[in-house]
């Protein structure tokens, strides 16, 4: 694998587009391959224009920063793009032959089996559960990708006889020309519209996981996808009905309807790959969700607090409310990306005993529409920030019930990511509640 990459990169001028976790791992690989620093460039809007010990970039490496950092693409033979760096369609078309990514190069040159997992929601849970289940077998299994582990950081550990599970975001799939040998497509809802411009373009990015031949497990709600988008794969369609009748006892943390669906995908793949039922059952009972996903973060004055900061779309928040029917207070709102809030608004109007605390930006619109349409507008509250919302939640949530923080929106207007937002929520709970001050 590394030798093929070395040959691909040999003698080329290489630009690392984006210098976060993935960009840093790409630079580490280039160093390991002895690529001369003067053949490497790094382009990032936030990069320091002068050498800085904190970013660990050699002085001989060219830096491209500031608002015109994308102008550097034409100066290089290969551009290794990190996920999430926004490029216009015109720029993609203009620079397509030099643009690539870690995921695309790995899928192109790795000779072993890969399982790719995508979907608007549930990718991390399904990836971690499937990794746990398949690790019970005899084949060595690795997990990388959008889970937070750049695939280039694992190349020394991966052999061709191994199985590699890749959690894949739309950004990682956008425009790739290779795909996994087995693909899981969990679901599809409006998301990242500020990046793609339309739901159709977002859907097209996700469907890249299905190109070519191989195996696929797909949510039956996506049967409307056209034949061209489905590639030439052997497809198993999975349904909510299947998830309701699983032949396994799920642990409480996977009991919510949407987590049952995630579990269904992982279980079907594990069964098909011959993992014994006894081992599957044992691994299921030991499984724990990643942080910020309907995570219980403790009780204060008899109130149970749930951190669901990973809920970045309305559908996820509706699912969380269904998973916790005794929720008395919901804190909702975040970065406005133009996603339709109507389904969430209508659901909240039907939850007649639910107190709803709305925070900017999307909470501003939600609060206006909820108070205008509800016969009980006083149960809808507006707070300027999360700190004020948590303080209010302490006051209005009765003991013996639940307060759910499930924003139904992204976090980029105030936080680096949903993890930082969830950590802030947890930190606020560590502070004395108003009654104890």
pLDDT of residue 433: 67
pLDDT higher than threshold 90 for residue 88? no
Write the DSSP symbol of residue 209: G
Question: Residue 197: pLDDT band by 50, 70, 90 thresholds?
Answer: confident
Write the DSSP symbol of residue 410: B
Instruction: Indicate the average pLDDT of the chain.
Output: 94
CATH superfamily for domain 2-100:
NAD(P)-binding Rossmann-like Domain (3.40.50.720)
Largest Cα–Cα separation, the chain: 70
**2-100 with 295-430: one CATH topology?**
no
Distance between CA 296 and CA 276 in Å, rounded? Answer: 31
Q: How many alpha carbons lie under 13 Å from residue 93 in its C-beta half-sphere?
A: 3
Q: What pTM does this model have?
A: 0.92
**H/E segment holding residue 356:** strand 355-358
pLDDT of residue 376: 94
pLDDT of residue 427: 97
Q: What is the mean pLDDT of residues 319-344?
A: 95
What pLDDT, in 10s, does the model give residues 228-276? 788 789 999 999 999 999 999 999 999 889 999 999 999 999 999 999 9
- Give the range among 31-45, 48-62, 116-130, 351-365 with minimum mean pLDDT: 48-62
pLDDT higher than threshold 60 for residue 436? no
pLDDT of residue 242: 96
The residues facing 355 across adjacent strands are 329
DSSP SS3 for 15 = strand
pLDDT higher than threshold 70 for residue 434? no
E strand map for 85-231:
99-100, 113-118, 141-145, 163-167, 182-185, 213-219
pLDDT of residue 244: 93
pLDDT higher than threshold 70 for residue 437? no
pLDDT of residue 230: 80
DSSP SS3 for 184 = strand
What pLDDT, in 10s, does the model give residues 166-177? 999 999 999 899
Q: What angle is formed at CA 307 by the lines to CA 302 and CA 309, rounded to 5 degrees?
A: 155
- Of 212, 209, 293, 295, the residue nearest 258 (C-alpha): 293
The residues facing 23 across adjacent strands are none
What pLDDT, in 10s, does the model give residues 276-321? 999 999 999 999 999 999 999 999 999 999 999 999 999 999 999 9
Distance between CA 126 and CA 10 in Å, rounded? Answer: 37
DSSP SS3 for 374 = coil
pLDDT of residue 17: 97
DSSP SS3 for 392 = helix
CATH superfamily for domain 103-286:
Mur-like, catalytic domain (3.40.1190.10)
Q: What is the mean pLDDT of residues 40-63?
A: 89
CATH number of 295-430: 3.90.190.20
Q: What angle is formed at CA 99 by the lines to CA 96 and CA 104, rounded to 5 degrees?
A: 115
What pLDDT, in 10s, does the model give residues 142-173? 999 999 999 999 999 999 999 999 999 999 99
Check: CB of residue 402 under 8 Å from CB of residue 324.
yes
Distance between CA 25 and CA 41 in Å, rounded? Answer: 14
pLDDT higher than threshold 80 for residue 69? yes
Tokens, residue 374: 């509800």
Distance between CA 398 and CA 309 in Å, rounded? Answer: 22
Question: Residue 221: pLDDT band by 50, 70, 90 thresholds?
Answer: very high
Question: In terms of pLDDT, which residue wins out, 333 or 58?
Answer: 333
- Of 421, 395, 397, the residue nearest 408 (C-alpha): 421
What pLDDT, in 10s, does the model give residues 400-428? 999 999 999 999 999 999 999 999 999 99
Distance between CA 45 and CA 108 in Å, rounded? Answer: 29
Tell me phi and psi for residue 331, to 5 degrees: -105, 125
DSSP SS3 for 306 = strand
Check: CB of residue 188 under 8 Å from CB of residue 200.
no
Question: Residue 84: pLDDT band by 50, 70, 90 thresholds?
Answer: confident
pLDDT of residue 435: 58
Give residue limits of the domains in the chain. Answer: 2-100, 103-286, 295-430
């Amino acid at each position: 694998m590394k030798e093929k990459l070395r040959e691909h990169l040999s003698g080329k001028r290489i630009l690392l587009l984006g210098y976060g976790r993935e960009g840093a791992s790409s630079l580490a690989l280039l160093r390991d391959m002895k690529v001369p620093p003067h053949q490497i460039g790094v382009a990032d809007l936030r990069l320091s224009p002068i050498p800085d010990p904190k970013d660990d970039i050699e002085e001989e490496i060219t830096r491209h920063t500031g608002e015109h950092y994308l102008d550097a693409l034409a100066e290089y033979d290969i551009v290794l793009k990190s996920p999430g760096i926004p490029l216009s369609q015109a720029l993609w078309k203009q620079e397509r032959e030099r643009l690539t990514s870690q995921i695309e190069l790995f899928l192109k040159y790795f000779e072993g089996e890969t399982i790719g997992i995508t979907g608007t929601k549930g990718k991390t849970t399904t990836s971690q559960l499937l990794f746990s289940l398949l690790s019970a077998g005899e084949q060595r299994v690795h997990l990388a990708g959008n889970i937070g582990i750049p695939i280039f950081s694992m190349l020394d550990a991966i052999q061709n006889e191994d199985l590699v599970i890749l959690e894949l975001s739309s950004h990682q799939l956008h425009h790739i020309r290779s795909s996994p040998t087995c693909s899981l497509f969990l679901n599809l809802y409006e998301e990242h519209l500020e990046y793609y411009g339309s739901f159709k373009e977002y859907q097209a990015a996700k469907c890249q996981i299905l190109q070519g031949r191989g195996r696929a497990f797909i949510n039956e709600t996506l049967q409307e996808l056209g034949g061209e988008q489905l590639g030439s794969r052997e497809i198993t369609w999975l349904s909510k009905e299947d998830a309701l009748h699983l032949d396994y006892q799920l642990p409480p943390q996977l009991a919510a309807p949407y987590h049952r669906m995630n579990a269904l995908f992982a279980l079907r793949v594990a069964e098909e790959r011959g993992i014994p039922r006894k081992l599957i059952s044992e691994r299921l009972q030991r499984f724990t969700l990643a942080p910020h996903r309907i995570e219980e973060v403790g009780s204060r004055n008899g109130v149970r607090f749930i951190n669901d900061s990973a809920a970045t779309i309305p559908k996820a928040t509706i699912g969380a409310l269904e998973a916790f029917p005794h929720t008395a207070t919901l804190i909702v709102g975040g970065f406005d990306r133009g996603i339709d809030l109507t389904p969430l608004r209508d659901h909240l109007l039907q939850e007649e005993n639910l107190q709803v605390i709305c925070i900017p930006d999307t909470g501003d619109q939600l609060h206006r529409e909820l108070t205008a349409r509800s016969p009980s507008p006083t149960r809808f509250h507006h707070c300027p920030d999360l700190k004020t919302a948590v303080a209010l939640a302490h006051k209005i949530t009765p003991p013996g019930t639940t307060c759910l923080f499930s924003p139904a929106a992204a976090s980029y207007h105030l936080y680096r990511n949903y993890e930082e937002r969830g950590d802030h929520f947890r930190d606020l709970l560590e502070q004395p509640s108003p009654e104890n001050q």
